[in-house]
A and B are shown apart, each in its own frame.
Chain A
Amino acid sequence: MAQIFKPSANSITQVGLLSVAIGVPTLWLGIAGLSRSPANTKVQVPKNQPVPFSHQHHTWELGIDCRYCHTSVEKSSYAGLPATETCMSCHSQIWTNSPLLEPIRQSYETGMPIQWNLVNKVPDFVHFNHSIHVDRGINCNTCHGAVNQMHITYKGNSFQMAWCLQCHRAPERYLYKDDSASGKGLTPRQQVFNVYWKLQEFGPANLNDQEKDLVRGDYNGAQPWEQDKIAAGKKLVSEYGVKVQQLADCSVCHY
């Protein structure tokens, strides 16, 4: 009877097994990597807008509070984008001839809203709520990156489920309180906005550790070895009454 397997079958099997052993994890890692890459998540990719609105200019250099424009951020689930009238409250007076602002003036005259291209969006089956996060003292930059440095707005984080859960499973890593004189007596909500004021007033050098990271846009919470910060965070978790046990339940975000 003729041999079914030729000697070369040995090496074919070896190569085959090896390529499965290497190929499957590579493919898996590749897909995982791709789905987390900026190409997919659009993190740090600026998006074209009808008007080149600069947060760096308006919030850092001019020191305008986020709430001047994103008025509903502390009391509703949506932060909202400013009405044309809000831009016009200043730009009817200053930079009135700027060609960049022509769409704003057009919109004000015709009543047709400016169509901003939304940068941050979770799928419709996810329910996000701004007011609760702001009320627990979570700074805008924790999620949105260094807004105060953006010339053209981009996405600061992936907003994938794993990213939300990182905090929802251990909020004590992210909560902090400003203990300096300028943070005294502030509610968590006020503290969120105080950071931008401090940055503008005193410069980046006079911020505490967390705030420095925040305004740079790379705040990743306390690391496991920073036990003192985690302990302080734990205290805040109980002080604010954060329901940690339920915070990672599916029904918190999907309902």
Chain B
Amino acid sequence: MSRFNSTEIAMALQAKTNHRRIQALGLVAVAISLAGCHTDMWRQPKTQPLDASEFYVDGQVSRPLVPGTIARDHLREDEPYFTGAANAKWVDTIPHTVDKEFLKRGQERFNIYCTPCHGRLGDGKGMIATRGYQLRRPVASYHNDRLRNMPVGYFYDVITNGYGAMYSYASRVEPEDRWAIVAYIRALQLSQHANPSDADGKALASAELTPSPTSALRDERVVTR
């Protein structure tokens, strides 16, 4: 019937199981050495800023503040400083000492957040305004009588709450920097509308805004490519 006798078959089976054993042993060895390569320290079960969340409805782990939360030292009871208004009127003076340092800070922040649209001179001819030919609303220039006569509190409010087509910058510019920007806008308005008899102007001019690379004096934008 069969060409093999029973001993031969038994030996063949034995060889096969031996083979299996060796294979299994090999697999165990691989498994043991791979067990050393775990990645739970690479990606720890903690959350970091910007992480996605499957738990919260809006899909992010960073939670917005519960309305009404006040962090320590963040009680904003100084109304003029944090709203730009007192007794329902825009404040007239900047609630911060205005010195060279402060104006420089204002210049830097202005150049980051405002120049793309308003231009380095505040004339409304920023890169976006000149390229985005299809702007729905033109970018405002600061150099008109209405804005020159606006109290500083108004500018603070525009940065904080936006104005018309312009969005709010409150989430990116802190209150102190907003005032610094306001001070710098005033300096721009004066520099573009020089009036020697202006006492305020003297005060600001004496702050000596030395032309730095990000100077307001240059607005020629040449892109060579």
**Hey, which bits of chain A sit against chain B, CB under 8 A?**
61-65, 67-68, 71, 78, 80-81, 83, 85-86, 88-90, 92-96, 111-113, 115, 118, 123-125, 181-186, 190, 194, 197-198, 200-201, 203
Contact = CB atoms under 8 A, between A and B. Distances in A.
Interface of A is mostly: loop
Contacts of A197: 213-214
A123 B112 contact: no
Q: Of B111, B128, B213, which is in contact with the most chain A CB atoms at under 10 Å from its CB?
A: B213
Contacts of A185: 210, 212
B135 A93 contact: yes
B112 A67 contact: yes
Interface of B: 41-44, 46, 48-50, 52, 58-60, 108, 111-113, 116-117, 127-128, 131-132, 134-137, 165-167, 171-172, 210, 212-214, 218, 221-225
Given A65-B112, A85-B171, A123-B43, 17 more contacts: A63-B221, A64-B116, A68-B172, A71-B172, A81-B50, A88-B167, A94-B134, A94-B135, A96-B136, A113-B59, A181-B213, A185-B212, A186-B213, A197-B213, A198-B213, A200-B221, A201-B222
A83 B171 contact: yes
15 contacts: A62-B128, A63-B116, A65-B112, A71-B172, A85-B171, A89-B166, A93-B132, A94-B135, A112-B58, A118-B50, A123-B41, A123-B42, A183-B213, A190-B108, A201-B222
A63 B136 contact: no
B58 A86 contact: no
A24 B83 CA distance: 71
A167 B3 CA distance: 75
In the A-B complex, the 10 residue pairs with the smallest Cβ-Cβ separation, listed nearest first, are A94-B132, A182-B213, A89-B167, A124-B44, A203-B224, A123-B42, A65-B112, A71-B172, A67-B112, A78-B49
A68 B137 contact: no
Contacts of B214: 194, 197
A124 B221 contact: no
A115 B58 CA distance: 11
Nearest to A123: B42
Contact of A62 (B46, B113, B116, B213): B116
A89 B52 CA distance: 24
Contact of B137 (A83, A93, A124): A93
Contacts of A61: 223, 225
